[in-house]
Structure 1
Amino acid sequence: MRPLLLLRALFDAAVAAAQPALCVPANLPPRPKGRLIVIGAGKASAAMAKAVEDHWDGPLEGLVVTRTGYAVPCTRIEIAEAAHPVPDTAGLKAAERILALARSAGPDDTVLCLISGGGSALLPLPLDGISLEDKQQVNRALLASGATITEINTVRRHLSAIKGGRLAAAAHPARILTLLISDVPSDNPADIASGPTVGDPTTCDDARAIIDRYGIELPANVRAALERDDAESIKPGDPRLANAEARIIAAPQMALEAAAEVARGEGLPVHILGDAIEGEARDVGKVMAGIAAQVASRYQPFVPPCVLLSGGETTVTVRGKGRGGRNVEFLLSLAIALGGREGIWALAGDTDGVDGLEEIAGAVVTPTTLARARKAGINPRDALANNDGHGFFGALGDSVVTGPTLTNVNDFRAILVEREEG
């Protein structure tokens, strides 16, 4: 299989492995004495709801909110759409209704919560004294700061009326089963959609320290809210979580393993370098370029030809005015570091089909990337300095566009290192 076709096949296999239709049915709860109430949020939540409907043999009701464009038609579960990554009024209204549904649950009911990546922005219900506009301002600042997803979600949990275990507390004493499709490094349930149904070990002190560390300017009322007792999230061991269970049903490692099987089927050795790699996207690009070059020239630590796979969530500290995207920033840095080296090809993309704010999953790097850019009059270093990976790869025709994938298991990176001739 030709390099670019192979890389795309690996990415498609990773996305396919995390489809809700495959992982939801086996994890449905037993039929309760009372109602089954389905709630949830995330880019995969509508597809998860459809999988519930298709495999549930009793009555059910509910509401989930997903990213605009990610809805899947359901007949018994209402699907709402809202903005991501910056929240909007539609998300606010959906979050209010989801919280009300949780509060309506009785002791004989089961609340089935369907959570996937993107849920933080889709459940933007703030604490009293904080407006949606405040949440939008803080969210934009966090996304541009270079903070990790763990740090971002620590702040989000302490400004929310629904995250950080509060949704589960609202449903007590009903049984709560949360099915999680993980998009975070290390698959920490508290970080997936900011953990609306799981205990949160972090504190308001932690949230304030993150704000200060990245120099984020908060509105005075938001800073004041972080000083209030009611900003503290629900902690592990809280009796209101006694009937709550969280179960991860799909995760980045599963997606990487599915891609690895495809590569092995083509006769290529595969090395998974990690499913939880974090750091500045451009720095990770340099490191991966160094590893790939060492493999190509020194046969260390692996012998070519081979495929190097990795996942996780890098960050981008926005300094320029380009179109952004952490996967394309990684690739642009990788391409610059490789310097047009022969025999090394790469693809990186977000498994939800959206890298940054663009409806583009990612892009590919080939041995001719830099040469074609120069011929087109594009300076790759200038593009990187301007955080304009999407502009760079779009101009070369090397973007990877999938449309809504209806799942989200974080970023996917694949590097093919061919054997050098001679």
Structure 2
Amino acid sequence: MQIKNYDELISHGFSDGRKIVLDLIEHGIKSADPYYAVKRSVSIEDGILRIHSFEIDLRKYRNIYVLGAGKASFPLAKALEEILGERITEGIVVVREKKEELKRIEVIEASHPIPDERSYKAALRVAEIAKKANNGDLIIFTITGGSSALLSLPPPEIPFEDKRELHRILLSCGANIKEINAVRKHISMIKGGRLALMAHPADVINLTVSDVTGDPLDYITGPTVPDSSTIDDALRVLDKYGLWKAIPESVRRYFREIDESKESPKEKDFPKLPKTFIIVRCDEAIRGAAERCRELGISHEVIQEALEGESREDALRMAELIRERIEKVTRPHVILAYGENVVKLSSSHGTGGPNQEFALWTLLNSPEDERLVICSVDTDGSDGGTDAAGAIVDFSTLRFREEIEVALNNHNCYEILKKAGDLVFTGETGTNVNDLKVVYIG
């Protein structure tokens, strides 16, 4: 079972409802498993590699390299190694936590969500292999969400510690992932398609997992595809969130003096374009949860528009929907939603995450109903950089109402949810698609 503290979570509150919600969460996460997705999508026969309907003859290559980084990159690399075996010449995959070794691909640990010295060294190692690949070589990249921290290679003008501080500022300013990456891709030696250009003239294939709504390739596997964002986009983000005074002096100077020579590579800059395959799409978890509802015969609805605003704002909208449904639907009924909420942090804040805040804000603003359960989790297993995936809450959580209100105002939800026994722990799941939100009206 993916949920590590299942018994604790069903030991209080509306236990039957919690069991159903956690079952849906479990099936949602499992349906987004990249390892099995590769096994379903990729095969080899007589030297011909097939990815979906695409075919490529591996017999024409002298060397095959596998390079990856990200929260869902290891299972992609593991499955590839099992399929390709000794055809792999060399490989590196960079992860947050090494759980096992591979035979042909080196597994390296680095830091996420804030890069560290290991992230810098890992980026140098990956870049080294990309640069040595030549005509007659193939590189298969498994870059997924999280690679921005796990592979960090700033330009020479930026001290590494300043790059780390920029990550901290961007992650706490309330910007969405597309805005954050527009900045990060313009202050990197490998992001924004630059890693793929390093690999030229080798052939490049990308296998990836999407954690961004709409599955835009340059935000999912940014180092290895042409970039659609521009310098102007990056500058607009700094303006929009008032970050010019907050960012380190070296970063401020870099962006003040930036010119077109430092623009990220566009499609016209690629002598040949990588072939990219999304192995798991951003909404895979919600589709898995919906399928489980059908199996269980539970009435359900899927909110089609991804929730990408601040946790509090989207929670208020969810609470209003719950209010409407409680009065009208035949019970039991499930509401499913997905997306990537953000939280704008003050200079002094506690510990928590967007999913923890979403669950609590939704609960506080919904009608009090003993048969209502709300759960919101980050599918990679870490909400807001904590060791919790998210939270599951119901009427029993409200015994801490006053403490919850204080915690929300201080962005310090982790401790009160821990006290309530309502944090959901999965550990690293090996996948990284959009957050999954489940509301159960029993």
TM-score range, shorter chain: over 0.9
Q: Output the amino acid matched with 2:287.
A: E
Q: Once the two structures are superposed, what CA deviation does each residue of 1:322-374 show, in whole Å capped at 9, x if it has no partner?
A: 2020000101101110153332211111111100121110110112321x215
Structure 2 residue corresponding to 1:313, chosen from 340, 343, 347: 340
Structure 1 residue corresponding to 2:253, chosen from 213, 216, 224: 224
Structure 2 residue corresponding to 1:14, chosen from 15, 19, 28: 28
Q: Output the amino acid matched with 1:291.
A: L
Q: Output the amino acid matched with 2:300.
A: V
Contact 2:285-2:434 within 8 A present in 1 as well? no
Give the Cα separation in 2 of the matches to 1:223 and 1:185. 30
Once the two structures are superposed, the pairs formed by residues 244-393 of structure 1 within 5 Å of their partners are 244-274=274-304, 276-299=306-329, 303-319=330-346, 320-370=348-398, 372-374=399-401, 378-393=402-417
**2:92 aligned partner:** 63
Structure 2 residue corresponding to 1:201, chosen from 212, 223, 228: 228
SS in 1 for 2:183: helix
Deviates most, 95-104 or 230-239: 230-239
What is the CA distance between 1:43 and its match in structure 2?
Answer: 1.0
Give the Cα separation in 2 of the matches to 1:343 and 1:230. 59
Give the Cα separation in 1 of the matches to 2:261 and 2:249. 17
Structure 2 unmatched runs, 5+: 1-14, 44-48, 50-55
Contact 1:256-1:275 within 8 A present in 2 as well? no
Give the Cα separation in 2 of the matches to 1:219 and 1:386. 25
Give the Cα separation in 2 of the matches to 1:40 and 1:57. 17
Give the Cα separation in 2 of the matches to 1:230 and 1:359. 41
Give the Cα separation in 2 of the matches to 1:243 and 1:310. 34
Deviates most, 342-351 or 147-156: 342-351
Find out whether 1:148 has 2:179 as its counterpart.
no
Q: Once the two structures are superposed, what CA deviation does each residue of 1:237-289 show, in whole Å capped at 9, x if it has no partner?
A: 3233x241121110232221111111222210221103632000111111111
Contact 1:6-1:263 within 8 A present in 2 as well? no
Find out whether 1:27 has 2:25 as its counterpart.
no
Q: Once the two structures are superposed, what CA deviation does each residue of 1:120-151 show, in whole Å capped at 9, x if it has no partner?
A: 11111111211211111111111110001100
Please report the TM-score for the alignment, with normalisation by the length of structure 2: 0.89
Contact 2:85-2:104 within 8 A present in 1 as well? no
What is the CA distance between 1:27 and its match in structure 2?
Answer: 3.4
What is the CA distance between 1:57 and its match in structure 2?
Answer: 4.2
Contact 2:173-2:241 within 8 A present in 1 as well? yes
Find out whether 1:414 has 2:438 as its counterpart.
yes
Give the Cα separation in 2 of the matches to 1:224 and 1:231. 14
Contact 1:340-1:368 within 8 A present in 2 as well? no
What is the CA distance between 1:310 and its match in structure 2?
Answer: 1.1
Give the Cα separation in 2 of the matches to 1:154 and 1:109. 31
Give the Cα separation in 2 of the matches to 1:350 and 1:165. 27
Structure 2 residue corresponding to 1:87, chosen from 97, 115, 122: 115
Once the two structures are superposed, the pairs formed by residues 103-182 of structure 1 within 5 Å of their partners are 103-182=131-210
Q: Output the amino acid matched with 2:289.
A: A
Give the Cα separation in 1 of the matches to 2:305 and 2:283. 6
**2:265 aligned partner:** 234
Give the Cα separation in 1 of the matches to 2:381 and 2:305. 18
Give the Cα separation in 1 of the matches to 2:268 and 2:300. 41
**1:4 aligned partner:** 18
What is the CA distance between 1:199 and its match in structure 2?
Answer: 0.9
Which runs of 4 or more aligned residues in structure 1 lie more than 6 Å from their structure 2 counterparts after TM superposition?
none
What is the CA distance between 1:70 and its match in structure 2?
Answer: 4.6
**1:100 aligned partner:** 128
Contact 1:164-1:200 within 8 A present in 2 as well? yes
Give the Cα separation in 1 of the matches to 2:288 and 2:82. 25
SS in 2 for 1:215: coil
Contact 1:119-1:192 within 8 A present in 2 as well? no
Q: Output the amino acid matched with 1:218.
A: I
Aligned length: 408
Please report the TM-score for the alignment, with normalisation by the length of structure 1: 0.93
Structure 1 unmatched runs, 5+: none
SS in 2 for 1:277: coil
Give the Cα separation in 1 of the matches to 2:63 and 2:231. 35
**2:10 aligned partner:** none
Percent identity for Structure 1 against Structure 2: 38
Q: Once the two structures are superposed, what CA deviation does each residue of 1:7-52 show, in whole Å capped at 9, x if it has no partner?
A: 1111111111121221123236442422111001101212221111
What is the CA distance between 1:402 and its match in structure 2?
Answer: 0.7
SS in 2 for 1:24: helix
Task: Evaluate the alpha carbon distance shift between residue 192 and residue 202 of structure 1 in structure 2; reply closer, same or farther with a 3 A threshold.
Answer: same
